[in-house]
Amino acid sequence: MNDQPEDVNTGVPEPEGASDIIETDYTIGQDNIEGAVGPFGFDIHNPVFAISGISVVAFVFYTLALPEQAGGAFSWLFGAVTKGFDWFFLGAANIFVLFCLFLIVSPLGKVRLGGKEASPDYTYIGWFAMLFAAGMGIGLMFYGVSEPMSHFSSSMGGTSVENGVRTDWAPLGAAAGNEQEAIRLGMAATIFHWGLHPWAIYAIVALALALFSYNKGLPLTIRSAFYPLLGERIWGWPGHLIDILAVFATLFGLATSLGFGATQANAGLNELFGIPIGATTEVLLISGITALALISVVRGLDGGVKILSEINMGLAALLLVFVLLVGPTVAILSLFGDSLMAYLEYLPALSNPVGRDDVNFMQGWTAFYWAWWISWSPFVGMFIARVSRGRTVREFVICVLLIPSMVCVLWMAVFGGTAIQQVVLDGYTAAQEAPLELKLFKMLDVLPLASITSFIGILLVIVFFVTSSDSGSLVIDTITAGGKVDAPVGQRVFWCVFEGAVAIVLLLSAGGLSSLQSMVISTGLPFTVVLLIMCWAIYRGLKSEPR
């Protein structure tokens, strides 16, 4: 799978062709502090490591000490961001998609990450498994059934208007009473949220980091993409702030997801085995997930993260094929084609940033999703960058944008389609009525071998969390070590444990998780600006590369 043994046999790597190295006086690691706490060595960036760690602790204390005030403040912030800047999120996301499509067709797509003759580090399968597991694996488990179902139901319900404002949650003009059209609109809206736009967001961040690191020779941290704009100033406070914000979004994003994931896995275990729902089970789940993630980070990128991602992809594919075969196969396959056509048909209207009357859908669903993907992008993008050396820009964009989008369409058609067919054809509404965390299990309930498939479902949820947690720890460790990927192992262990501890503390406090999640999503706003600057930086950077 990996080409390590070949590396060993070829000895000194052949020159890999010219790339346009940025000459700077900054030496990677010059701001780092190396030392030891007792017998444990460390190699950390000053001040990014300390400020990130301290501010995370301070925020956790704030939400614990003043839960109501913090909850109020964060949900106000979240509402202000998604309602006031909905047009900005939607417009920016469209720019990201168009820019990625431009890169595929433009001659700039010929540039290779890592120099003209660089060869890819990972096979397509290993690479794809890793970027998919980090990118959205866990979300697909929970929204695969629930989101198509929600949009289908709200579209069927039609529109309702009070004081001239739409109060329903249906996308666009809804499809009152028209079952076939409601299915098409529901699928189109779901694919819109999981297809090209989120992957374009990830692709921009990943491409910017990979380009400025592998081709320009700058450290693998978020600040490097700002070199064309800020020049040598990125080594000072502007750069520190960008990196700290990235650590912050990554750590809280992971901790809140870990907390919610534990709640959801607990619900599944309760449904399947009658394991009680409660703080004890959830704390045990987080501890277990963190322990597995620890083993994985200590085993490293090839021995841990990659293997887990491949196991995950195999299991997910198994579940997908199973549901496809035992579910309404022909209906699902025709839904796949229909959904794709419906997506293309509704795409211009769904992505329109201004003059919309479906405000609830646009702000509560789309703007929320865009902010969410963008707040995750430093983590996922940096991880994708780390494993993408040796690909051409064109190959990179096709594989990060188009293929995952198609997989999402298939996933949504299989899981959402099966659940919708259960409602439409059989009148089975358990999945439609179940709470979010149980929808998948209720859908699987009426298919054969339900206890086995539900168990695989829970296993997938847990392993997807482990892969998010371990890859997240690697990313935070690299950023807080100033772009060094060879810092002592103890550091990644520290971040992995820290993340689990933050998740447990927030889980045990009332409302801690949801208020911090609002805050994390609010970081999507400044990062949208960061991403727009990255588009420009990528264009500038690619133009000066030999092709």
Partner 1 sequence: MFTHIMVPVDLTHTDKIARALETAGLLGKTTGAKITYVGVTAETPTGLAHNPQEYAAKLAEFAATQGTAYGVTADARAIASHDPTVDLNDTLLKTADALQADCIVMASHIPNITDHLWPSHGGTVAKRAHASVFVVR
Nearer to partner 1 among residue 67 and residue 488 (C-beta):
488
Nearer to partner 1 among residue 42 and residue 142 (C-beta):
42
Contact 83, 364 (CB under 8 A): no
Does the footprint of partner 1 cover residue 6 (CB under 8 A)? Answer: no
Closest approach, Cβ 415 to partner 1, in A, equals 33
Among 112, 184, 240, 386, indicate the residue that binds partner 1 (CB under 8 A).
Answer: 386
Does the footprint of partner 1 cover residue 39 (CB under 8 A)? Answer: yes
Place of tokens 């030392």: 35
Closest approach, Cβ 219 to partner 1, in A, equals 6
CB neighbour burial string for 359-381, b if at least 16 within 10 angstroms, e if fewer: eebbbebbbbbbbbbbbbbbbbb
Q: Which amino acid is at 448?
A: P
Q: Is 487 helix (H, G, I), strand (E, B) or coil?
A: coil
Place of tokens 């060879």: 486
Among 217, 353, 511, 526, indicate the residue that binds partner 1 (CB under 8 A).
Answer: 217
Which regions of 147-256 does DSSP assign to beta strands (E)? Answer: 161-162, 165-166
Nearer to partner 1 among residue 316 and residue 475 (C-beta):
475
Closest approach, Cβ 292 to partner 1, in A, equals 16
DSSP string across 100-131: HHHHHHSGGGG-BTTSTT---SB-HHHHHHHH
Among 166, 197, 240, 389, indicate the residue that binds partner 1 (CB under 8 A).
Answer: 389
Nearer to partner 1 among residue 128 and residue 214 (C-beta):
214
Helix pair angle (48-65, 512-522), 10° resolution: 130
Q: Which residues contact 274 (CB under 8 A, 6 or more apart)?
A: none
Does the footprint of partner 1 cover residue 290 (CB under 8 A)? Answer: no
Does the footprint of partner 1 cover residue 451 (CB under 8 A)? Answer: no
Among 25, 27, 274, 330, indicate the residue that binds partner 1 (CB under 8 A).
Answer: 27
Closest approach, Cβ 216 to partner 1, in A, equals 8
Does the footprint of partner 1 cover residue 4 (CB under 8 A)? Answer: yes
Residue 63 has φ and ψ, to the nearest 5°, of: -70, -30
Closest approach, Cβ 7 to partner 1, in A, equals 6
Closest approach, Cβ 295 to partner 1, in A, equals 12
Can you name the residues that pair with 40 across neighbouring β-strands?
37
User: Contacts with partner 1 in 139-198 (CB under 8 A)?
Assistant: none
User: Contacts with partner 1 in 74-113 (CB under 8 A)?
Assistant: none
Q: Kindly report the number of other CB atoms within 10 A of residue 538's CB atom.
A: 25
Q: Is 511 left (phi over 0), alpha (psi -120 to 50) or beta?
A: left
Burial class, 26, CB count within 10 angstroms (exposed 0-12 / middle 13-18 / buried 19+): middle
User: Contacts with partner 1 in 240-269 (CB under 8 A)?
Assistant: none
Q: Which of 81, 143, 75 minimizes the C-alpha distance to 368?
A: 81
How far is CA 220 from each of CA 119, 209, 227, 333, 376, rounded to the nearest angstrom? 19, 7, 12, 42, 17
Does the footprint of partner 1 cover residue 30 (CB under 8 A)? Answer: yes
Q: Is 36 helix (H, G, I), strand (E, B) or coil?
A: strand
Among 89, 128, 192, 214, indicate the residue that binds partner 1 (CB under 8 A).
Answer: 214
Closest approach, Cβ 128 to partner 1, in A, equals 16
Q: Do strands 40-45 and 165-166 pair parallel, antiparallel, or not at all (unpaired)? A: unpaired
Of 8-16, 63-71, 160-168, 496-504: span binding partner 1 (CB under 8 A): 8-16
Nearer to partner 1 among residue 21 and residue 105 (C-beta):
21
Q: Which of 170, 176, 133 minimizes the C-alpha distance to 154?
A: 170
**Residue 394 to residue 388: CA distance in whole angstroms:** 12
Burial class, 463, CB count within 10 angstroms (exposed 0-12 / middle 13-18 / buried 19+): buried
* Interface size with partner 1, residues (CB under 8 A): 48
Closest approach, Cβ 16 to partner 1, in A, equals 6
User: Contacts with partner 1 in 299-328 (CB under 8 A)?
Assistant: 299-303
Task: Report residue 8 as tokens.
Answer: 């060993």
Can you name the residues that pair with 43 across neighbouring β-strands?
34
Closest approach, Cβ 32 to partner 1, in A, equals 8
User: Contacts with partner 1 in 478-497 (CB under 8 A)?
Assistant: 483-490, 492
Please, where are the H alpha helices in 274-367? 279-300, 306-326, 329-351, 359
Does the footprint of partner 1 cover residue 295 (CB under 8 A)? Answer: no
Among 103, 120, 121, 185, indicate the residue that binds partner 1 (CB under 8 A).
Answer: 121
Nearer to partner 1 among residue 90 and residue 387 (C-beta):
387
Contact 335, 148 (CB under 8 A): no
Closest approach, Cβ 235 to partner 1, in A, equals 13
Closest approach, Cβ 61 to partner 1, in A, equals 30
Does the footprint of partner 1 cover residue 298 (CB under 8 A)? Answer: yes
Does the footprint of partner 1 cover residue 114 (CB under 8 A)? Answer: yes
Closest approach, Cβ 35 to partner 1, in A, equals 14
Closest approach, Cβ 486 to partner 1, in A, equals 4
Q: What angle do CA 419, 435, 511 make, to 5 degrees?
A: 145
Q: Which amino acid is at 51?
A: I
Q: Which residues bind partner 1 (CB under 8 A)?
A: 2, 4-5, 7-9, 11-13, 15-16, 19, 21, 27-30, 38-41, 114-115, 121, 213-214, 217-220, 298-303, 386-387, 389, 483-490, 492
